[in-house]
Structure 1
């Protein structure tokens, strides 16, 4: 009787091990998938840092003075003449700084693929940053559009024929900022996917 019980207990233990082994394989597979996603997240953050800081630097150094001027009067275009472009520089600088700070949390997600807290924190702040970068890029895009096209109804003339360098540099900065915003959206989607599968 005791031997029968012993066999039954051993069988149950063997069954338990079998179940544990069956569960362990998908767990390792999911961990690998999550780790791969976290590595991709880290790489995307590096690209976003480059895009956001390049946008801020390009706009922050935009300054053009036309060659024809007198001692008392000259034509000059600078980003700090327009509040929307100043906001653009500040917004992208903040986004770039945040991305640098977020790198250690992204590394934690690589080392510990199942950690929910770092991903949740990144998800929240990435959402804030996508709003900031999109707002900054959109406001600057409106100004750059007016610089290129003007507005006859408001008697605003297009200045890009005169301030060509200014317009090219601001246009490039706006494109870089929109690239950063798109990367933020990808980061949010990836974080949401990882959290949903927790």
Structure 2
């Protein structure tokens, strides 16, 4: 189908909505904006909780300070949350602009970019949370087979705050998973719209 004379660039797909589809579009955009905000806010909270987490214990005549850099999984978690915060801020601003302007046209390249970004961030956050959870469980329960002691018995305050940070990160990762599903829906609906138009819908 030629787009000549319609004022539409070749990389942009005109999407025509009925009343129901317009309502659905609005709900999807609102849900996306809320989830972006959740990822942004809880991502910042997780970073603050983990980075500021420390506890000093005295063993005989020397002191040992536990901090997040002692666990590489927590360092990875902080980096992942930092990336998520920056990404969520950019995408959140895009959502706000899109809702204010009430965009009807949607660029396929942009849809693919958002879809790819959401997929990457979902995988990164899930991997970071999984690694941090595993390290946290070892610290909590120890590993008798390897003679790893229960570190959290000595650094209870540190472990509790670390758990709060991991909990916040878990919600962030779940939000990113849902967002990746939303972006997939938004992307592949463009192709469905084209198919319906060619079929005479």
TM-score (norm 1): 0.79
Report the alpha carbon displacement of residue 102 of structure 1 after superposing the two structures with TM. 1.3
Q: Alignment partner for residue 107 of structure 1, among 96, 100, 103? A: 96
CA distance in 2, matches of 1:96, 1:83: 20
Show the counterpart of 1:98.
87
Note the aligned Cα RMSD (angstroms): 1.9
Q: Alignment partner for residue 57 of structure 1, among 27, 48, 51? A: 48
Greater relative CO (CA pairs within 8 A, separation 6+): 2
Residues 157 and 113 of structure 1, relative CA distance in 2, 3 Å threshold: farther
CA contact (8 A) 1:127 1:188 kept: yes
Q: What does 1:1-150 correspond to in 2, within 5 Å?
A: 27-66=18-57, 70=61, 73-110=62-99, 111-117=102-108, 118-150=110-142
CA contact (8 A) 1:54 1:173 kept: yes
Task: Considering fraction of residues, name the structure with more helix.
Answer: 1
TM-score (norm 2): 0.78
CA distance in 1, matches of 2:146, 2:36: 41
Report the alpha carbon displacement of residue 81 of structure 1 after superposing the two structures with TM. 1.3
Task: Considering fraction of residues, name the structure with more strand.
Answer: 2
Structure 1 spans left out of the alignment, 5+ residues: 1-23
Show the counterpart of 1:21.
none
Aligned residues, how many?
172
CA distance in 1, matches of 2:46, 2:175: 14
